[in-house]
Amino acid sequence: MSSGTDDGCDKCGHMDTEVGTISTTGGGLSKMFDIQTNSFKVVSCTNCGYSELYRDDTAGSSDIVDVFLG
């Protein structure tokens, strides 16, 4: 949040996000993404609700938020 290169939400430019976690074990999402892994971080824009999923083992939450905000 301090890099100075953030563009905000990809859809609306908003700078606030929520980070949650979802499990895909046996659910519809595992089919949707054709994967067997179990946990994802979900970063959602608090303004428009646009969300992206990130593998839970890729990075910490703050890094994910930086990716989301561009």
* Binding region for Zn ion (CB under 5 A): 9, 11-12, 14, 45, 47-48, 50
Whether the Cβ atoms of residue 35 and residue 54 lie closer than 8 Å to each other: no
For Zn ion, give the closer residue by CB, 16 or 63. Answer: 16
Whether the Cβ atoms of residue 62 and residue 8 lie closer than 8 Å to each other: no
Whether the Cβ atoms of residue 47 and residue 53 lie closer than 8 Å to each other: no
For Zn ion, give the closer residue by CB, 9 or 64. Answer: 9
For Zn ion, give the closer residue by CB, 48 or 67. Answer: 48
Q: Minimal distance in Å, beta carbon 40 to Zn ion? A: 19
Which tokens go with 46? Answer: 């608090």
